Amino acid sequence: MRTSTGSLSVEVSPEVGDAVAAGRAVVALESTIFSHLGLPSPSNREALERCEHAVRSAGAVPAVTAVLDGVARVGVDGDDRERICGPARKMAERDIPVAVGLNWEYGATTVSAALALAHLAGVKVFATGGIGGVHRGVELTWDVSADLDAIATRPLVTVSAGAKAFLDLGRTLEHLETAGVPVLGWRSDDFPAFYTRSAGLPVPHRVESADQVAAVWSARTRPDSGMLLAVPIPSEDELDAAHLDEVLARALDECAAAGVVGAGVTPFVLERIAMATAGRSLPANLALAEHNALVAAQVAVAISG
């Protein structure tokens, strides 16, 4: 099924297209996390399988987003699914026209790109690991992830374990407030920090159930706006916060010393974190992504019901 808005046409898989047309629950997934950019092999494939399984177990249809051979896709099945776990080029929303126009083999969607494609396919809920946000030292680098504006301006619920831990989380919350994004804490009063359950910052509002998220969703003042559901990592998978702070500080210093800027910052820092935590960050990353997918599916069911 092909759906087209403006000048971009999106290839929607039959399963996802049927579900959207029938008003059934669908959860969009970004592909960066499943590609070589997000997680090392074979963890990336495990992440894909666990996220898809979690979505299905709650009665929703998973919809992986990507550009493959220059075609924007929502819902990737069959042989193409294998390619999602391969080498990719990182693709924010602004890169989608380039990936399509210049026929990229595999453009992996970040949050902003996934939201753009999911919206074109009529999907209402999106799950990821951690969103991008305002970087530490933003006053010098001006580095604010395009994820934040996409969350504000795409009519989807984004489900994430907060923002990536090495960001400036206070300023990230400020930016979301300015952009008018409702931020809800899933059974928590704290904004989560990806690998840990609390960033030491309060989340503006707490919700206890998917039905409550759906109730907030249906009362938005602007139909074209989105919201963020912040889901803390399950307690048993949480990393030690004090150790993590040291690791993050070192990784950011190394990033600066190596002169890495722009889109290269996130992959560089994530790799350093994985190395310095002796692999413990990897199972944590998998667990939180799977849990987010499960909560997102419950929300999608509540919204479609």
Question: Residue 266 touches which of ligand PSU, Mn ion, none (CB < 5 to 8 A by kind)?
Answer: ligand PSU
In our burial notation (b when 16+ CB lie closer than 10 A, e otherwise), range 279-299 reads ebbbebbbbbbbbbbbbbbbb
Active-site residue, selected from the candidate residues 30, 52, 238, 290: 30
Cβ proximity to Mn ion: between 166 and 195 the closer is 166
Cβ proximity to ligand PSU: between 196 and 266 the closer is 266
Phi and psi, residue 118, nearest 5°: -60, -40
Cβ proximity to ligand PSU: between 166 and 217 the closer is 166
CA–CA dist 41, 258 (Å, integer): 25
Cβ proximity to ligand PSU: between 228 and 301 the closer is 228
CA–CA dist 280, 139 (Å, integer): 32
Rounded least distance, CB 235 to ligand PSU, Å: 19
Residues that bind Mn ion (CB under 5 A): 143
Alpha-carbon Rg for the chain in angstroms: 18
| Helix ranges (DSSP H) in 138-240 | 138-141, 147-153, 169-178, 210-217
Question: Residue 130 touches which of Mn ion, ligand PSU, none (CB < 5 to 8 A by kind)?
Answer: ligand PSU
Catalytic status, residue 164: yes
Residues that bind ligand PSU (CB under 6 A): 30, 32-33, 38, 110-111, 129-130, 132, 145-147, 164, 263, 266, 270, 285
Rounded least distance, CB 25 to ligand PSU, Å: 23
Q: Which of 254, 278, 229 is nearest to 128 (CA)?
A: 229
Please identify every residue annotated as catalytic. 30, 164
